[in-house]
Structure 1
Amino acid sequence: MSRPLIIGLTGSIGMGKSTVAAMFEAAGVPVFDADAEVRAMQGPGGELLPAIEAAFPGSTGPNGVDRDRLGGEVFGDSEALARLEAIVHPAVARKREAFLIEHAGAPLVVFDIPLLFEKGGAEAVDRIVVVSAGAEQQRERVLARPGMTAEKFSHILSLQVPDAEKRDRADHVIDTGTSLAETEDAVLALIGELRATASDRRRDTP
């Protein structure tokens, strides 16, 4: 049975991945946003709250996960981070499978996965699209975020595969160092190319 062409969309912090994901969605391509799913599962009444509270007592409340408190517990602590990921990642995988079933008839779908390379998800997608921009632009964008510091930014970068390596491993690169209109043109051209690939593949599937 044929299934959609699965596009893995990724990019380092501040590269504009969310903007590009929104462009895919606006063009009618179903997008699975891993971060949004996590936020929902950690929000008020979220299904992950009991397990997170058990592993990190005092980190949840009526409004869901206290992100600052939980972040403080796992920041720089690889063992604590691994405990959290063991709760979150299987739940996200289940949501992703349900999304794929829901959109089984679509020619292509996008998995918006920030840590696609870092967490070994690259093998689960058919094409990898990396969103990228210049290092100075990236730094300016990230440091403009509320609560962000140069130290936090450096730490996040240290946990991510370098942008140059991501670009090397990508099937397609979307440059967000240009105007929004130019980026959107590039995204629409890529969607056309990917839809053609998906169509060819479905024809070849017995």
Structure 2
Amino acid sequence: MTKIIGLTGGIGSGKTTVAKMFMANGIPVYIADEEAKKIMDSKEIILQIENVFGAEVVSNKKIDRVKLSKIVFNNPEKLEQLNKIVHPAVQKHFKDWLKNHTTVPFVIKEAAILFETGGHKHCDKVITVVAPQLLRIERVILRDKSDKDSVLHRINNQWSDEKKILLSDFVIENVDLEKTTKQVDDILKVLNKI
């Protein structure tokens, strides 16, 4: 039975960098955020989002992510409505993906809000990636060309690192790439024995 290893971390922690390190070691990695974006482009999901959020969030038969973000990121109820549409579809997609990876001992499921959605309950082990808040803010500003206030708002909408760490089996402090690589190697040694 293929084990599911959850990989999570707050925005700007560098969980995608860590996910790529696992991929480089030949481990199949499912990146939930990327898959969710693809799923949100499907006609069925676009229709559901349009029904809940109105026609103004759809332009050229695609979701206008900027408009939708403005609606959901300042309104926890709206964010929950969106999650109720997208997350079940992502879950189904992951289950189908997993069927193609039955010969490996484990896969990595990378998800930004693994704990917030209860996804950690379906994982055999969980890895949380952490980094100092100032570094996370710098990374996101560089990556998304956003401002400090909007990054802080997104950080505050996610569980704190402390809360995630309590429920995690492994914690990777992602500040220095060389040290992060070593931490990934050490975790792989443990995972290869389970």
User: Does TM, scored on the shorter chain, surpass 0.5?
Assistant: yes
Q: Secondary structure at the match of 2:159?
A: coil
Q: Which residue of 2 aligns with 1:130?
A: 128
2:138 aligned to 129, 137, 140, which one? Answer: 140
Q: Which runs of 4+ in 1 moved over 6 A?
A: none
Q: Tell me if the contact between 1:12 and 1:160 (Cα under 8 Å) persists in the aligned partners.
A: yes
Contiguous gaps of at least 5 residues in structure 2: none
Q: Tell me if the contact between 1:40 and 1:46 (Cα under 8 Å) persists in the aligned partners.
A: no
CA deviation after TM superposition for structure 1 residue 193, in Å:
1.5
Q: Tell me if the contact between 1:41 and 1:47 (Cα under 8 Å) persists in the aligned partners.
A: no
Contiguous gaps of at least 5 residues in structure 1: 198-206
Partners of 2:183 and 2:28 lie apart in 1 by: 18
Q: Secondary structure at the match of 1:174?
A: strand
Q: Secondary structure at the match of 1:144?
A: helix
Partners of 2:144 and 2:156 lie apart in 1 by: 20
Q: Which residue of 2 aligns with 1:20?
A: 18
2:180 aligned to 154, 178, 183, which one? Answer: 183
Q: Tell me if the contact between 2:40 and 2:86 (Cα under 8 Å) persists in the aligned partners.
A: no
CA deviation after TM superposition for structure 1 residue 185, in Å:
2.4
TM-score by length of 1: 0.87
* Code of the aligned partner of 1:174: I
Q: Which residue of 2 aligns with 1:55?
A: 52
Q: CA RMSD in A?
A: 1.7
Q: Secondary structure at the match of 1:151?
A: helix
TM-score by length of 2: 0.91
Task: Output aligned runs, 1:131-170, within 5 Å.
Answer: 131-170=129-168
Q: Which residue of 1 aligns with 2:95?
A: 97
CA deviation after TM superposition for structure 1 residue 20, in Å:
0.4
* Code of the aligned partner of 2:69: G
Tell me the matched-pair count.
Answer: 193
